[in-house]
Amino acid sequence: MAPVQQVSMCNHNEIDDTIGTEINLMERQVNIEEIKKRIMKLNLANGNVMNSHDKSGNCDRQDNLKGPEGKVLVLYTGGTIGMVRNEIGALAPIPNIFVDTVKNYPYLHDRAYADKELNNSGSLVLPITGTDNRRIIYDVLEYSPLLDSSNMTMDNWIRIANDIRNSYEDFDGFVVLHGTDTLSYTASALSFMLEALGKTVVITGSQLPIFDSRSDGLSNFLTSLVIAGNHNIPEVCVFFGTQLMRGNRTSKVASASFEAFASPNCSALAIAGIKIEVNYHSIFRQSALEKFHVHKVLNRNVGLLRIFPSITADLVRAFVQPPTAGVVLQTYGAGNIPANREDIIEVLREASKRGVIIVSITQCSKGGVTDLYESGKLLLEVGITPGSDMTPEAALTKLAYVLSKTDWDINTKRHMMRSNLRGELTTCSVNGQFCQVEDSDLVKTVSLRGDGVDVSQPNGDGRTILHLACCEGDLKIVRTLLEMGANVHIKDRFNRTPLTEAVENNFHEIIKLLLQCGAHLHESSLVLGEKLCSAAACGNLKRLQSLHIAGANLSLSDSSGRTALHHAALHDRTATAQFLLEHGADLKHVDLLGHTPYALAQISGAKNIMKILDIASNVSNSKQFKNIA
C-alpha cells in the first residue's frame, strides 16, 4: 500500500491534491464539532476514570497493577556509546559486556526493584524519579558483530527494521544505539521502511561512551529510554544533546561536539530540560487505517552527485549510466546548475528520458530548492524532480525506498519523491516559492478553520479523546479520529489503551477498526488469562467474544492454572463452554491441582457441560485419527 502523504499547511487550497487518504473537511464538520465537545468532557473528567471503566455490569476483576511501566527494547548495534577502555586505555567495542556493565550503574539499573519484581527475567529497570510518568523496564538486544557505523549497510537497516517488527507488540518503544557517522542515514532509511509506525523509535549515540566519567552517552541513553517508554511519538527520531529531532530531518554537523546533530529545516519534536517538553503539534501522524509493517526491500542503485565548478559532462554521464536508477543531485543555492553548460543539461535530459529519477536538493544546510531562477526552471524542464528541503541522507534513502516499490510506475515514483511521505520535506507551493512552515497533520489543517483540535494530546491522566470515544462506543467518531492520526497505542496512567476501553465495553466493530489500525492487546498472558477466566465464570459471553476478536488466546490460564473452559465447567456456563470449544479452547489443559475441564464439570455436577465436552473430545480424537491415517 502506498504511504499516505501528510497534509501541508503551505497552501490551504492545495489540500485536495494530497495523495493517499484524502479527507473532506466539509463532510466531517459535524464529527469535528462532536470531537471538540468530547475533548471538553475529557478535560472535565481529568483525574476521574470512572467514566472509562466497564459499564456492562460484569464481574471482571480489575487489573492488578503495581504501578505503570513502560517497556523498551534497546537495539545495541555498536558505536562509541557502548565502548569501554581496554588494557591500554583505548576505546574499543567489546562484545557481551554491555548489559553486565550497565547493571553496575545504579542510575541505569534499579537492582533492588529488579530482584523483587522482575523474577530474574534478565530485564533492566531504571530507577523511578519524580519527573517520570512510569517506570522504564528495558531489554537489550546486542548485535554480533558490533558495528562501527561507517561499516553500516542497507542490509543492517533491514535487520534493524525486522528486529523492531518482530518485537513490535511486546514493547512500548524502541531505542537504537548507533555510531554517529551514519546515524542520520539509518534514521532516514528506517523512517521510510517502518510503514504505518505507531510507536516511538529513538536512535541515539554519543561522542564519549556511557561508561566514561565525563560522557554525553549517559544522558543521551537515559533520556532516549525515558522518551521511548513514556511518550508516544510515532516517528523515527534522533535524540542528541537536549533535542529530540525527526530522524529524516537530521544531519551530523560536528565531529567532536556534544551537539553533533542538527535539524535545520524542522523544529525539535521535544526538548529535554528539567522536564521533557513535547511539541505535539509538530509530530507527524500517519492517517492510513492500516497496521504497522516493514518494507524490507531497498534499491541500491542510487547515488549522490554534488555539482562543482568545471564538473565535466563525462563525469556526469558516467554517474547516470546503468545500473544507476536514481541520483540525488546536490545543486548550488536554491537549486541552480550552470545554465550555460548545455552538455551537462543534455546528459541529465537523456538520463531522465531513460527512466533515471534525478532529485535536486540544495548544497546549503538550511532552506531548499525553488524555481525562482533560470537554471532552476531549466532543471524542471529536463525532468528533474525538486526535492524541496530534504537532507542528503533523507533524499538518498527515500530514493532507495521509492525505487523499490515495484507496484508504482515511473510517474508515481517521481510524484512520491516530491511528496511529503514521513515529514521529510516541506511542501512548496505558494507562488512557486519555497514555503517555510511546520510539517503538520489534519489537526492543524482543521485549526485553520478555527477548530484547534489536537486528537492525540493526553490529559492529566494520560487519556486521549480516542480513549473516551472507544469507551462510549461511537464508531463514526473513532473512525474520524483515526483518520486524523489519533494513536491507538497510547496508554493512560492506569495502563489502559483505547483497545482496552473497546474490549471492556464490548464494542466489537470498534475493536475490529482499532485492530485494522495496528492496535493489539498489551497485557501479560497472566492478566489476559485472569480476564478470560473471570468472564467465563460470570457467563459473560460478550466479554469473551470481545477478547477473542481482539486476539486473545482463549486457552490462557489464570494464577491457579485454570483456563476459561475450566471456569465455565465449574460454574455450569453451557453457552460459554460451547463458545470456547467452537473457538479452539484446550480440552485437556490441566490446572495446578491436576484437574481438566471435564473433571471440574463432574465435581460441579454440570451434566450439560460434560456432554458437550464428551462430544468435543470425540470430534478431536476423530480428527487426530484421520491425521494419523
Measure the N-to-C terminal CA separation of the chain; round to a whole number of Å.
Answer: 43
Q: Which is it for strands 276-278 and 357-362: parallel, antiparallel or unpaired?
A: unpaired
Q: DSSP label at 61?
A: P
Rounded Cα gap, residues 111 and 132, in angstroms: 18
C-alpha cell belonging to residue 524: 501479560
Catalytic residue among 18, 21, 77, 80: 80
Q: What's the burial of 229, exposed, middle or buried (CB within 10 Å: 0-12/13-18/19+)?
A: buried
Tally the residues of the chain: 629
Closest CA to 269 of 237, 240, 222: 237
Rounded Cα gap, residues 479 and 469, in angstroms: 10
Q: What angle do CA 361, 198, 295 make, to 5 degrees?
A: 60
Catalytic residue among 21, 77, 129, 180: 180
312 is catalytic: no
Which 3 state secondary structure label does DSSP give 297?
Answer: coil
Classify the C-alpha dihedral 538-539-543-547 as positive or negative.
Answer: positive
Rounded Cα gap, residues 296 and 194, in angstroms: 9
Name the maximum alpha-carbon separation found in the chain. 96
Q: Which residue has the cell 554480533?
A: 144
Rounded Cα gap, residues 231 and 489, in angstroms: 10
C-alpha cell belonging to residue 163: 528486529
What is the CB neighbour count within 10 angstroms for residue 44? 11
Q: Which is it for strands 357-362 and 385-386: parallel, antiparallel or unpaired?
A: parallel
C-alpha cell belonging to residue 146: 558490533
CB 401 within 8 A of CB 333: no
Classify the C-alpha dihedral 382-385-389-394 as positive or negative.
Answer: negative
Q: What angle do CA 86, 90, 95 make, to 5 degrees?
A: 45
Task: Show Cβ contacts of residue 565 under 8 Å, excluding neighbours closer than 6 positions.
Answer: 536, 554, 555, 577, 580, 581, 585, 586, 587, 589, 597
Rounded Cα gap, residues 199 and 491, in angstroms: 11
C-alpha cell belonging to residue 589: 489443559
180 annotated binding-site participant: yes
Q: What's the burial of 571, exposed, middle or buried (CB within 10 Å: 0-12/13-18/19+)?
A: middle
Rounded Cα gap, residues 328 and 395, in angstroms: 7
Rounded Cα gap, residues 297 and 134, in angstroms: 37
CB 484 within 8 A of CB 443: yes
Which residues are annotated as catalytic? Answer: 80, 180
Annotated binding-site residues for substrate read: 149, 180-181
Annotated binding-site residues read: 149, 180-181
